[in-house]
Amino acid sequence: MKIKIIYPILILTLAMSFIITYGISETYAFAEIFEKSKEVEESEAYDEIKDINEITARNMEAKLTLKELKYHIERDSLEQETSLEYKNNQYKKETTSRGGFRFNNAMDMVATAYDLSYESCGKYPDDPEYGITASGTKAQPGTVAVDPDVIPLGTKLYIASTDGSPDYGFATALDTGSTIKGYRIDLFMENNQDAMDFGRRQVKVYILD
């Protein structure tokens, strides 16, 4: 009788042990799966964040590269413009100044020389107009005869030699002459011999500011 009672209890105990053991195993298995799933999700999320960060970094790098490139292009362009402007200013300065004076035009002309001798001016000292220029002033060093259609009377000039001889220098267009037409200029000299020695030369005539 006691044995019959023990068998059901024993079977029930074994059944309960099996259920408890199986349930715990399942719980552990489920927990392990959950943990692995969580680790996978975290790993995937980390990889996704890493990819996003890498893409963002590449985009930032690309933006910086483009910004730097734009900066360098703009700087080079500015440097070129500044250099060109400087060169233009230097060229303008060189072409509008010479030997400490400024000018607004320069012309290549044929120069001759004259004095107050009869051979040069066709007048004797007793002539009321002897030594008087077309402007009404007295001829003196620095007085030059020009064609008023080319250089207006009263214009300030600088006469430069082109053959290496000394410059005539600063002068004023105050006189005219029957043979002084076009790009011709006649330079007054006090000495007849100097005028004769001068002859006929090419000169550069600067129209001063």
Residues 203, 162 contacting (CB under 8 angstroms): yes
> Are residue 140 and residue 126 in the same domain, yes or no?
yes
Average pLDDT over residues 4-10: 58
pLDDT for the residue numbered 209:
84
pLDDT for the residue numbered 20:
59
φ, ψ at 116 (rounded to 5°): -95, 10
Q: Cα–Cα distance between 141 and 160 in angstroms, integer? A: 15
Question: Is 181 or 55 the better-scoring residue by pLDDT?
Answer: 181
Question: Is 174 or 95 the better-scoring residue by pLDDT?
Answer: 174
The per-residue pLDDT for range 105-117, each reduced to its tens digit, is: 999 999 999 999 9
Domain boundary among 98, 122, 145: 98
User: Percent of the chain having pLDDT more than 70?
Assistant: 53
pLDDT of 150 > 70? The answer is: yes
| Enclosing domain of residue 20 | 1-98
| Confidence bin at 5 (pLDDT 50/70/90) | low
The per-residue pLDDT for range 81-138, each reduced to its tens digit, is: 444 444 444 434 444 555 578 999 999 999 999 999 999 989 999 999 999 999 999 9
| Top-ranked range on mean pLDDT: pick from 18-27, 100-109, 172-181 | 172-181
> Are residue 44 and residue 109 in the same domain, yes or no?
no
Per DSSP, helices labelled H in 97-150 are 118-121
> Are residue 132 and residue 83 in the same domain, yes or no?
no
Q: What is the mean pLDDT of the chain?
A: 76
pLDDT for the residue numbered 133:
96
Residues 149, 112 contacting (CB under 8 angstroms): no
pLDDT of 204 > 70? The answer is: yes
pLDDT of 161 > 90? The answer is: yes
Question: Is 179 or 32 the better-scoring residue by pLDDT?
Answer: 179
3-state SS class at 206: strand
Domain boundary among 38, 64, 98: 98
CATH of the domain at 132: 2.40.40.10
Domain boundary among 98, 129, 151: 98
The per-residue pLDDT for range 28-72, each reduced to its tens digit, is: 444 554 465 556 556 665 566 666 667 666 766 665 555 565 555
- DSSP codes of every residue in 149-203: TTS-TT-EEEEEESSSSPP-EEEEEEE--TT--SSEEEEE-S-HHHHHHH-SEEE
Q: Cα–Cα distance between 207 and 185 in angstroms, integer? A: 13
Task: For residue 116, list its beta bridge partners.
Answer: none
Total count of domains within the chain: 2
> Are residue 91 and residue 178 in the same domain, yes or no?
no
Q: Please count the other Cβ atoms lying within 10 Å of the Cβ belonging to residue 184.
A: 17
Torsion of CA 178, 184, 187, 191, to 10 degrees: -70
Torsion of CA 182, 183, 188, 192, to 10 degrees: -90
> Are residue 108 and residue 93 in the same domain, yes or no?
no
Average pLDDT over residues 4-23: 59
φ, ψ at 164 (rounded to 5°): 90, -10
Q: Please count the other Cβ atoms lying within 10 Å of the Cβ belonging to residue 1.
A: 5
Question: Is 12 or 162 the better-scoring residue by pLDDT?
Answer: 162
